[in-house]
Amino acid sequence: MKLKLFSLFFLLSFFEFAIAEKIYTSDKHSYSIETVVDGLRYPWAVEFISNKKILITERPGRLRIYENGKLLAPIKGLPSIKAERQGGLLDVALDPDFSKNKILFFSYSAGNMFGIGTEVASARLDNNALKDLRVLFRALPKSKGGLHFGSRLLLTRDNSLYITLGDRGEMNRAQDIGDHAGSLIRINKDGSIPESNPFTQDSNAKPEIYTYGNRNMQGIALDPTTNEVWTIEHGPQGGDELNLMKPGINFGWPVITYGVNYGIGTKIGEGTHKNGMSQPVYYWVPSIATSSVLFYSGKKFPNWKGNAFVSSLKFGQLARLEMADNKVIKEERLVNGAVGRIREVKEGPDGFLYILIDDENGKLLRLKPSN
């Protein structure tokens, strides 16, 4: 009898472990997914201070620290944030010298009853509060509505701060270089404008603009092997894009696109090609609702090193892209709806992949290689 009870206990324990450690397979690695933290409200971005200390933004307007297994109270000192539809507290990024100066950067939507828009500020993190806050950039003109704020941030070692913007749901603004909407912004991390920006000598242009003709870029990443900047653009119904950013380029929205109008499927603009307008390196039809991009450089998944990973909201997927000579030579879809809408994919300092789940009860999950 004791032997039978022991065997039953062993079997139950085995099945419990098997359920907890569900194994997912892919072409080059098998992996499991585990929860790091839950109870987040519509999380939008994650940034790693260390293996044990993680910054997480929540779109309704909270910046949180997860440290040593605990989710701390919201950080104090944020500016006034207007969280409307897709807007709110959005991305967060650390200064390259954060270990010394404790400076971080964050994007958010702000304004008043007359209009809102994307803004970017810097501040010094002092325990659980922000000090010395400075607004570095305001997207102008502000406008009504809660769509297409863009808002991903990238800091590079040359002191550049790149800011992705959306067209704010007013597509024709993306073709106007006198309007920040629908563009990639490049400023210095102190808020000044680099002299090498492409439109600094054009009195009709916003000098912060680096590229234009972009619909709603929600991802940006630096390829560590080439030092080139890439973005992910969230298209309409179809037409999500992976783009290699070069100064002064017109990416064509809404004149050219591989997408169509939502619901009715009618044509947008003039087609898919036009002289003087850039083609995407890669695009998705149907749309997967792209939300972030990274180039993996860690050691935990050696067969994925150098691959680009693109997160998907619509299908809850990770698109793994094998790259060669700045072209996509193979795509594989991972996760495939098993965990919900993926807002961001991030590589942790431990070399694991982390994914942020956009939900009222959002989560930060970790992908680990399976033996």
Catalytic residue numbers read 148
Distance CA 102, CA 359 (A): 29
Residue 13 φ then ψ, to 5°: -65, -40
Q: Which residues contact 192 (CB under 8 A, 6 or more apart)?
A: none
Neighbours of 175 (CB within 10 A): 18
Distance CA 59, CA 63 (A): 9
Distance CA 370, CA 7 (A): 26
Distance CA 348, CA 104 (A): 17
Measure Cα distances from 344 to 44, 333, 356, 362 in Å. 7, 15, 5, 12
How large is the greatest C-alpha to C-alpha distance in the chain, in angstroms? 88
Distance CA 250, CA 26 (A): 36
Distance CA 139, CA 150 (A): 11
DSSP strand pairing (62-67 vs 115-126) = unpaired
Amino acid letter for position 258: Y
Angle at 312 between CA 27 and CA 341, to 5 degrees: 115
Distance CA 352, CA 349 (A): 8
DSSP strand pairing (308-312 vs 115-126) = unpaired
Report CA Rg, the chain.
Answer: 21
Distance CA 320, CA 332 (A): 5
Sign (positive or negative) of CA dihedral 42, 44, 47, 48 = positive
Distance CA 1, CA 348 (A): 49
